[in-house]
Copies of this chain bind each other. A is one copy, B any other.
């Protein structure tokens, strides 16, 4: 289920170029010719590596997911207490938003890929499930009451901050504050 990344140098360049183009211009709007040109590679190489555009899309989202998860894990590890750790994904989101200002790539991808049998569909859907479960695990570890309900609320706040990111106004700060006060309210009293 967890495959390694035996990707050739050309393969990595293709994914990097495609990721940027898909995120900033949309998946359907970007052609494989442009991706090949941007990554300094022939279209033949692209097809030898990924087989089809659909599978390249999946590879891009998988790579993005991998990067996002490791950022969140680092933010969780950097926290001093289990209670702080519950809202660590909001800290990760602040970092992430510095270089990703066009909303959530997974939501955006699903907007263009309505077919559940598309190889990228499952990756995008799992991404949200993973975060929700992480919130629940962290809430449980911090001793919060009602971790399931809390996790859903935190996910909504997180996705809301991400979805409103392209619009003017700082929504991330407000939702982070709200998330923290929710966690504090459901956490056991200190010592």
Contact = CB atoms under 8 A, between A and B. Distances in A.
Interface of A: 24-26, 28-29, 102-104, 107-108, 110-114, 125, 128-129, 132, 149, 152-153, 155-164, 166-169, 171, 174-175, 178, 182
Most chain B CB inside 10 Å of its own CB: which residue of A24, A161, A163, A166: A163
A24 to B, nearest CB: 6
Nearest to A168: B129
Task: Name the 3 nearest CB pairs between A and B, nearest first.
Answer: A160-B160, A108-B111, A156-B160
A112 B28 contact: yes
A132 B164 CA distance: 11
Given A29-B112, A128-B167, 7 more contacts: A26-B28, A26-B113, A107-B163, A108-B108, A132-B169, A156-B157, A160-B163
A174 B153 contact: yes
A110 B29 CA distance: 13
A127 to B, nearest CB: 10
Stoichiometry, copies per complex: 2
A112 B24 CA distance: 9
7 contacts: A28-B112, A107-B111, A128-B167, A156-B157, A157-B157, A159-B160, A160-B160
Contact of A171 (B110, B156, B178): B156
A136 to B, nearest CB: 11
Contacts of A155: 160, 164, 171
Contacts of A178: 153, 156, 182
A69 to B, nearest CB: 17
